[in-house]
Structure 1
Amino acid sequence: MSRRDFINISGVFSDLALLQACQIKFSNVFEVTFNNKPKKNVVIVGAGISGLAAAAHLSKKGMNVTVLEGRNRIGGRIWTDRSIDNIPLDMGASWVHGIKGNPIYDLAKKNKIDTSITNYDSHLIFNFNGDELSESEEIRLEKQSEKFVKFIEEQRSNLHQDRSLTSFINHFIKEEDLSKKEQMLLNYYVNTTIEHEYSGSSYNLSALNFDSGEELSGEDVIFPNGYDQIIQLLIKDINIKLNESIYKINYEKDFVKVYSDKSLFSADYVIITVPLGVLQKNDILFIPELPERKRKAINKLGMGILNKIYVKFPNAFWSKKPHLLGYVSEDKGQWGEFLNIYHYLNEPILLALNAGDFGNVVENRHDKEIISELMIILRKIFGPSIPNPISWKITRWGKDRFSYGSYSFIKVGASVEDYKILSESVNNKLFFAGEATVTDFPTTVHGAYLSGIREANKILEEISK
Structure 2
Amino acid sequence: MTTSDKLYDIIIIGCGPAGIAAALELQKYQPTPSFLILEARNRVGGRAYTDTHTFATDEPIDLGARWIHHYRPENPLSIHHTPSDKDRFNYQFFNDATTTAHFDYDGTSWSEASMNEAEKIVEEFYAHIKQYDSTKEDISMFDAIRDKYEKIQDEKVRRLVDMNLAFVEHYEASNLSELSTKSFEKSDNDIKPCDLTLPIGLGSFIERIVERNHLPVQLNRIVTHINILIDKNSSICISTQDQQHYMCKYILITIPLGCLKKHGIHFTPALPDWKQNAIDRMGVGLLNKIHIQFPFTFWDEKLDNIFISSNRFRFFGCASQDHILILFVAGKLARELEQQTDEQIVEQIIQCLQPIYPQMPKPTKWLMTRWGSDPFAYGSYSNFKTGSTHETVEELAKECYDGRIHWAGEHTNYGGTIGCVDSAFESGHREAKRIYNKLN
TM over 0.5: yes
2:9 is aligned to 41
Q: Quick check: 1:310–1:351 contact (8 Å CA) kept in 2?
A: yes
Within the candidate set 294, 315, 319, 1:337 is matched to 315
1:70 aligns with 2:70: no
Partners of 2:404 and 2:83 in 1: how far apart?
A: 35
Residue type matched to 1:247 in 2?
T
Q: How far, CA to CA, are the matches of 2:328 and 2:253 in structure 1?
A: 29
Q: In structure 1, the residue corresponding to 2:399 is in which secondary structure?
A: coil
Distance verdict in 2 for CA 1:267–1:438, change over 3 Å: same
Whether the 8 Å contact between 2:140 and 2:177 is mirrored in structure 1 is yes
Cα 1:244/1:204, change in 2 over 3 Å:
same
> Which one of 426, 431, 437 corresponds to residue 406 of structure 2?
431
Structure 1 residues 239 and 101: alpha-carbon distance in aligned structure 2, compared to 1, 3 A threshold: same
* TM-score (normalised: structure 1): 0.86
Shift of 1:79: 0.8
Instruction: Tell whether the 8 Å contact from 1:100 to 1:218 is kept in structure 2 after alignment.
Output: no
TM-score w.r.t. the length of structure 2 is 0.91
Partner of 1:255: 235
Which structure 1 residue ranges, 4+ long, deviate > 3 Å from structure 2?
A: 107-114
Report the AA paired with residue 310 of structure 1. H
Name 1:196's counterpart in structure 2.
170
In 1: Cα distance, 2:201 partner to 2:387 partner: 37
Which residue of the partner structure matches residue 381 of structure 1?
A: 356
Determine helix, strand or coil for the equivalent of 1:296.
helix
* CA distance in 2 between partners of 1:158 and 1:41 (Å): 44
2:326 maps to a residue whose letter is L
Counterpart in the other structure of 2:138: 162
Corresponding residue for 1:130? 107
Distance 2:22 2:77 in 1: 18
The residue number in structure 2 matching 1:97 is 69
* Alpha-carbon shift at residue 177 of structure 1 (Å): 4.0
Alignment-mate amino acid for residue 51 of structure 2: D
For the residues of structure 2 that align with 1:158 and 1:271, how far apart are their CA atoms?
A: 35
Shift of 1:230: 2.4
Q: Assess, with a 3 A threshold, how the Cα gap between structure 1 residues 158 and 418 changes in structure 2: closer, same or farther.
A: closer
Taking a change above 3 Å as real, the CA distance of residues 375 and 116 of structure 1, as seen in their structure-2 partners, is same
Report Cα offsets for 1:248-296 as digits up to 9, x if no partner: 0112242111111121111111110110111111111011111111110
Equivalent residue number for residue 27 of structure 2 = 59
Q: 1:95–1:220: 8 Å Cα contact kept in structure 2?
A: yes
CA contact (8 A) 2:140 2:386 kept: yes
User: Is 1:406 the counterpart of 2:383 in the alignment?
Assistant: no
User: Residue 353 of structure 1: which of 324, 328, 336 is its match?
Assistant: 328
* Corresponding residue for residue 450 of structure 1: 426
Measured against aligned partners, the alpha-carbon deviations of 1:98-149 in whole angstroms (never above 9, x if no partner) come to: 2223535513543659421236223222112122211212211222222222
State the distance in 2 between where 1:132 and 1:96 align.
33
Indicate the SS of the match to 1:282. coil
Q: Distance in 1 between matches of 2:193 and 2:142?
A: 30
Residue 147 of structure 1 aligns with an amino acid whose one-letter code is E
1:461 aligns with 2:437: yes
Is 1:83 matched up with 2:47?
A: no
Q: What displacement does 1:215 show?
A: 4.1
Q: Does the residue aligned with 2:377 lie in a helix, a strand or coil?
A: coil
- Give the letter for the 1:288 counterpart: P
Paired residues of 1:278 and 1:402 also in contact (CA < 8 A): yes
How many Å apart are 1:226 and its aligned residue?
1.0
Task: Compare 251-260 and 427-436 and name the one that shifted more.
Answer: 251-260
Change in Cα spacing, 1:47 to 1:367, as seen in structure 2 (3 Å) is same
How many Å separate the matches in 2 of 1:102 and 1:200? 28
CA distance in 2, matches of 1:113, 1:304: 33
Local SS of the residue matching 2:355: helix
For the structure 1 residues 105 and 41, does the alpha-carbon distance in structure 2 shift closer, same or farther, using more than 3 Å as the test?
A: closer
Which residue pairs with 1:107 in the alignment? 79
Distance in 2 (CA, whole Å) between partners of 1:159 and 1:186 is 29
Alignment partner of 1:265 out of 240, 246, 256: 246
Matching residue within 89, 103, 106 for 1:117: 89
Corresponding letter in the other structure for 1:63: P
Amino acid at match of 1:340: C
Give the distance between the partners of 2:376 and 2:200, measured in 1 at CA. Answer: 25
1:361-408 deviation per Cα after TM superposition (whole angstroms, max 9, x unaligned): 11001000000111111112222x211111110011111011111111
Q: Report SS of the residue matched to 2:41.
A: coil
- Let me know the Cα RMSD of the aligned residues: 2.0
CA contact (8 A) 2:76 2:426 kept: no
Structure 2 unpaired stretches of 5+: none
CA contact (8 A) 1:271 1:432 kept: yes
Amino acid at match of 1:53: A
Are the aligned partners of 1:99 and 1:216 in contact in 2 as well (CA < 8 Å)? Answer: no
SS where residue 200 of structure 1 aligns?
coil
**CA separation of 1:353 and 1:455: change in aligned 2, threshold 3 A:** same
Task: Count residues with an aligned counterpart.
Answer: 422
In the alignment, which residue of structure 2 is the partner of 1:301? 282
Q: SS at the partner of 2:124?
A: helix
SS of structure 2 residue aligned to 1:311: strand
Distance 1:113 1:48 in 2: 27
AA of the residue aligned to 1:85: F
What is the CA–CA distance in structure 2 between the aligned matches of 1:218 and 1:278, rounded to whole Å?
29
Structure 1, unaligned runs of 5 or more: 1-26, 33-39
Question: Aligned residue for 1:416?
Answer: 390
Among 327, 335, 338, the residue aligned to 1:363:
338
Percent identity among equivalent residues? 29
